[in-house]
Structure 1
Amino acid sequence: MPLITGFPSAPPIPPHPHTPMPFWPEMIFTVFLGIPVVVGVVMAVRHLVTGRGPLLLACLIGGGIACLFEPIVDTLGLAYIREGATLTTFSSMGRDFPLFINFVYIWYVGGLAYLAYQMYSRGVTARSLFLIYGMDVCINVFLESPGVLLGAYQYYGPQPLNFWGLPLWWVCVNPLMPMTAGAIIYWIKPHLPGWKVLAVIPVIPMSDGIANGAVAWPMWTSLNLDANLVTTHATWLLTLGLALFSVWLLSFAVARPENEVGEQSKLAIIKAAVLGSPEHDATTPEAEPSAPTGVPSPASAQI
């Protein structure tokens, strides 16, 4: 039935699947995603015990809260976490969500936000920022592929770049969540001494919403028009362009000139960010970043 004379109504949204959650794929995927959560929690406790501060704990808690965005992005992006899970943790928008959803948000969104903050604090160039984006894309592919291959969840509708069940447009969007959160933490952390750093907790879900809303909207629009694959592939290019544009924008907030970063290898930066180093412990005085007149001055990391 036309909405306006001469203009046809939009095609219907693809029907929502109702395949039940298989038991063993759920268990296997839960353990797979739970291992990095256990590692992150152990590190967060170690940081508290050794006096390095609660920042990592705050990031992990914020990541856990950010999982409440999952029903929103699933509904708009046509993803279906199979229902009837043995370890269902919450329900929202008429959908049930299992424990592995909580796990993936805790470490991918929260944990990687902490890692991004540490890397920014130690110094990254604009080029390095794009390498971090590529690293997070690869991590996303690695963490999601077992879930779709095992049948724990699925994507439906005219998803572009859907070669083995994981539409690759999603992995272009997701890295911006921790990268954006890390950039915000980089700027506000010097103003949050001691336990005030727990104010970081809402930053994580806020960054989730910022990243998805800023970049994924073209794909959400075309998918919910039930567009053909030619259209959704073209829309993916727009989404990818917005994602890369976002990384470029982040570079103005956190990147430094090459001569300030030095010759330290990217692997060494990642290792230092994960394990910490004596010169970046909680006893080191923290200098607040200068006003954004070009390139921010370093903000020392509290691990």
Structure 2
Amino acid sequence: MFVPNTTSRPPADMAIPYNEQLIFTIATQIPFVIFFGMGLRSLASKGDPLPLLFGIGGCFASSFEPFVDVLGFCFFPREGNWVAFEWLGRPIPVFVPATYGWFVGGMGYWAYTVIRDPKTTRKDIWKLWGKAFIINLVLEYPPLYYGIYTYYGYQPLEVGGFPLWFPATNAITPMVSGAIISLIEPYCKGWRLLAIVTTTASAYGLANAACGFPVWIALSTDLGYAVTYPAAAVTFLLLSNAVWIISLIVPEQRGIKLNGNEKRRVKK
């Protein structure tokens, strides 16, 4: 979305610094390699392909990055960019697919395990969203500081160059895939296991579109913060609703044990 003489046009003179891109590319490969190593070990030792399939789906989810960037006013400059792929006129760096592999895929598997854990309650689902939000802050602030990419336009809730509606939305994406797969996994046998890959990938686009569209629309109008801040409020309402819906998969409270006997305190 490039509209002349408006804030919807990203900075044309920006370039990705070589050393910073090298450091960040290496840094993002480390959790990627660790998670995929865990996935291969789980497949070899336990015959469990789920972590690996989540990770592969996360890598495929990076195909949504150009769409999210155009609509959400995020920009990777072309100058100095080690391009992995390019759609919609947006060059995406090589570190993005690997980052998606462990953030969307790896954290999607984490969300799946939390949801399937017998000890998990609905409060834990809200805590999971908060943890994912903090992890996304840690992930994105360093490259923003060093000018690897930027956000532009009338971004609401911008703190240190990072509009906080973005990490809040990013945090919900692995939770959506974890929730859906926790429901369909018992039916995924044989070739149907591939549904885990496609679900992990598409859940990223689904969550962004379902919760981020109010800010996308507001940014495109170029009417200023008077429009984008109310839109951000709607996005946070949609995000809260999404977390609440996911939390309904698990009980509100689990049973407690008194004198060795379990007393049920489960509210559906």
Give, in whole Å, the separation in 1 of the partners of 2:138 and 2:159: 14
How many residues get paired? 253
What residue identity is the alignment partner of 1:17? P
The correspondence for 2:234, drawn from 219, 234, 238, is: 238
Query: Which of these residues, 107, 112, 119, is aligned with residue 102 of structure 2?
Result: 107
Unpaired stretches in structure 1, ≥5 consecutive residues: 1-10, 264-293, 296-303
Distance 1:29 1:232 in 2: 31
Structure 2 residue ranges without an equivalent (≥5): 258-266
Q: Which shifted more, 44-53 or 193-202? A: 193-202
Residue 138 of structure 1 aligns to which amino acid in structure 2? I
1:25-174 alignment to 2 at 5 Å? 25-85=20-80, 87-123=82-118, 124-174=120-170
- Which of the residues 217, 226, 248 maps onto 1:221? 217
CA distance in structure 2 between the aligned counterparts of 1:208 and 1:236, rounded to whole angstroms: 19
Asked if residue 15 in structure 1 is aligned to residue 9 in structure 2, the reply is: yes
Cα separation, 2, equivalents of 1:71 and 1:127: 34
Contact 1:84-1:96 at 8 Å conserved across structures: no
- Counterpart AA for 2:224: N
- CA separation in 1, counterparts of 2:210 and 2:40? 34
1:53/1:194 contact within 8 Å kept: no
How big is each residue's C-alpha offset from its partner over 1:157-186, in whole Å with a ceiling of 9 and x where there is no partner?
111121211111101111111000001110
Once the two structures are TM-superposed, the CA of residue 13 in structure 1 deviates from its matched residue by 5.3
Partner letter of residue 101 of structure 2? I
1:20 maps to a residue whose letter is A
Which range is displaced more, 148-157 or 18-27?
Answer: 18-27
8 Å CA contact 1:12–1:225 kept in 2: the answer is: no
**1-side partners of 2:47 and 2:176: how far apart?**
23
**Structure 1 position 85, deviation (Å):** 4.0
Amino acid across the alignment from 2:85? F
Distance 2:129 2:54 in 1: 19
SS at structure 1 position matched to 2:158: coil
**Residue of structure 1 in register with 2:261 after alignment:** none
Letter in 1 for 2:21: E
CA contact (8 A) 1:160 1:169 kept: yes
Asked if residue 197 in structure 1 is aligned to residue 193 in structure 2, the reply is yes
- Matches of 1:194 and 1:117, distance apart in 2: 20
Q: Which amino acid aligns with 2:77?
A: R
Cα pair 1:13 1:225 within 8 Å, conserved: no
Rounded Cα–Cα distance in structure 2 between residues aligned with 1:195 and 1:117: 20
Q: Residues 46 and 195 from structure 1, CA distance in 2 versus in 1: closer, same or farther, beyond 3 angstroms?
A: farther
Normalising by structure 2, we get a TM-score of 0.89
In 1, Cα distance between equivalents of 2:59 and 2:76: 17
Query: Alpha-carbon deviation of 1:12?
Result: 4.4
Deviation at 1:257, TM superposition (A): 3.6
In structure 2, the partner of 1:291 is: none
Normalising by structure 1, we get a TM-score of 0.79
How far apart, CA to CA, are the structure 1 residues paired with 2:23 and 2:230? 35
Query: Which deviates more, 124-133 or 82-91?
Result: 82-91
